[in-house]
Structure 1
Amino acid sequence: MSDLELRGVTKAYGNVEVIKGIDLKVEDGDFCVFVGPSGCGKSTLLRMISGLEPISGGDVCIGGDVVNDLGPADRGLAMVFQSYALYPHMTVRQNLSFGLENLRASKAEITERVTATAQMLQIEMLLDRRPKDLSGGQRQRVAIGRAVVREPQIFLFDEPLSNLDAELRVEMRGEISRLHRRLNNTMIYVTHDQVEAMTMADKIAVLRDGRLEQFGRPLDLYNTPDNIFVAGFIGSPKMNFFPGRVEAGGLRLETGTVVALPPGKFMLNEGEQVTLGIRPNGMQPAETGLPLTVSGVERLGGESYLYGTASDGTAVTVHCAGQTKIEPGTQIALTLETGEAHVFSTQSGQSLLRKGA
């Protein structure tokens, strides 16, 4: 068993608490992504799991055993860093075998594991090169290989793709996902890129300011976010938010537009201040509707994005299929797909979706 459980885990530096009581369980074989803005505590949490950072309170459990007092080498983990952390004076073969040599594995076992790992990651032709002779993508494969060769219970990835260009990031995302399917090991992956989180994860843990905001499957977080922070963080481009007030006829936005919501879907009280959330693909240009002044247009060929402001100054992003003829400076109207709308309490930020709706 290689499940991971965090029980009330905290971390403080003096009087400053940076991890504020996180409870989380990652099942055996899951690919779990920690995601959140810079400074939210995701890398600190990963280092606490690895044993590189002592915890201030709570328990870290691996396979049902509390490992608070075990060192990094004794936790059955392998970590892949953002900076690759390869030994520059060693060949790829030596980099892969170094950890096994420290574990006093036999030469035959080292050769077998290194060969199998190199073939799996398609780096067998690089074994006699040094890191300076490799591209960024090749270095990252070697860094991953150094983790794989140890046959750990759990893999830890700390923003491993952030040094790569956009095209190579997409390629390496696919390679890491395929590696997970082949090995079926538990993997914990830290990133600030929610696109990486959505495309790679079995489960996502959204962190903010040292707290766990929501934990669940990617599409669950996208379709039913618990609060306005998760709703704005998960999804690209981000969700649009419109302030408004509940009245008898529906929801009156500050733009003056009245929006009729599906009956019984939300827990609403007349007169309550709320925030309406609509994703960019939930609005379309129309003859009448929410007024928008278009300030920018992105034409990507198969799709287009409109950027503008509503009459109350709210920034709005609209996704349009295909190629649009709308130009910057144009005044248009938008229809809102309220069947996919989200409503949040303006005061607490929590979703007002009725359970089971």
Structure 2
Amino acid sequence: MARVELKQVRKSFGSAEVIKGIDLDIAHGEFCVFVGPSGCGKSTLLRMISGLEPISGGDIVIGDEVVNDIPAADRGLAMVFQSYALYPHMTVRQNLSFGLENINTPRAEIDAKVEEVAKMLQIDMLLARRPKDLSGGQRQRVAIGRAVVREPRVFLFDEPLSNLDAELRVDMRSEITALHRRLENTMIYVTHDQVEAMTMADKIAVLRLGALEQFGRPLDLYNRPRNLFVAGFIGSPKMNFLAGRVSTQDARLLELEGGETVPLPADGFAQRPGEAVTLGVRPNHMTMAEDGPAGMTVRSVEQLGGESYIYGTLANGTALTLHLPGQIGATIGETLRVAPKTEEVHLFDTDTGLSLRRD
């Protein structure tokens, strides 16, 4: 195990700065997920930690050692790639053994480690096969096994599940999480899928345009997003956003374009009369009520049996999603009166995007 620290880490390609002074402290044994939209810099940051990409500034510290100038092969890390990167002409056993053979590990020790890891990952019956004879999930297990046998200080995963189908991704998420509990190594995992991030991570680093937007435990990011970007990125379905101005007559009311008003929390947020704010409310924190403050025109309905999703728009064109338990008999074109659960809403400064939460 090893602690990983990033201290004002930067990366530039020519005049383009793609990683903009990131500070992170990943504790011994933590499962940290880098998440963000395509192009945010998460894979570049992982490659910088691994040593596959040189840094342009700052320090990367693994354990107690600054590794800026240490080659990738000497950092004590193991990386699992999106493409599996298995040797096609080798059997599974040979793929698992290759890294240990390169460092002159005794044959008996190699065989023992390969057998142990193969049983752990349930690929012991596949050791004589070649990658072309394996399914996607089996290839990914072999790629993970090749990393495990090296007993690295830190595991690095670069979108390892993106080539798998939806059902297999769910299974592999559980297997990687169980592997982390068993090995107790530090793991850093890159994904664009916030559901993977929420279900697997001890800590999540949300990245955008090469900058760190927020770092913390999954439910802290979900319950207390620092800004509009994190609020909209973390959570599925996406959070609803209603932009307007705080009433000059009553700071507990948000005036929407078009004249409708929505209640705001009486405390907990630092809104000021006349201020331009954006109210955020998750789809499962919206309700239907005959006396609801806003009228939503239904555009589509998804009935999933035990739950329903209703998609619509307010009079001012703002899109809304409702996630309700049970089977809701809404019809397309119908107007529903809806209301946010005031105690569950979030409030952001529209100009800066920052949360207006007091604490």
Fold conserved between structures, TM > 0.5: yes
- Alignment-derived partner of residue 7 in structure 2: 7
1:259 alignment partner AA: V
User: What aligned pairs does 1:1-357 form with structure 2 within 5 A after superposition?
Assistant: 1-247=1-247, 248-249=249-250, 250=252, 251-289=254-292, 290-355=294-359
Runs of 4+ in 1 over 3 A off after TM superposition: none
Query: Which stretch shifts more, 257-266 or 227-236?
Result: 257-266
2:121 alignment partner AA: L
CA distance in structure 2 between the aligned counterparts of 1:65 and 1:174, rounded to whole angstroms: 32
Gaps of 5+ in 1: none
Give CA deviations for 1:114-158 in whole Å, capped at 9, x if unaligned: 011001001000000000000000000000000000000000000
- Say if 1:255 and 1:310, in contact at 8 Å, map to a contact too: no
1:314 alignment partner AA: T
1:232 alignment partner AA: G
Give 1:259 shift: 2.8
Give CA deviations for 1:31-72 in whole Å, capped at 9, x if unaligned: 000000000000000000000000000000000210000111
Q: How many residues align?
A: 355
Give 1:255 shift: 4.3
Report SS of the residue matched to 1:252: strand
Please, what TM-score do these two structures have when normalized by structure 1? 0.98
Aligned-pair Cα RMSD in Å: 0.8
Distance 1:264 1:284, change over 3 A: closer
- Say if 2:262 and 2:339, in contact at 8 Å, map to a contact too: no
Give 1:256 shift: 2.7
Gaps of 5+ in 2: none
CA distance in structure 2 between the aligned counterparts of 1:58 and 1:43, rounded to whole angstroms: 18
Give 1:258 shift: 2.4
CA distance in structure 1 between the aligned counterparts of 2:256 and 2:285, rounded to whole angstroms: 16
CA distance in structure 2 between the aligned counterparts of 1:42 and 1:314, rounded to whole angstroms: 31
Give CA deviations for 1:260-296 in whole Å, capped at 9, x if unaligned: 3332210111111000001001112221221101101
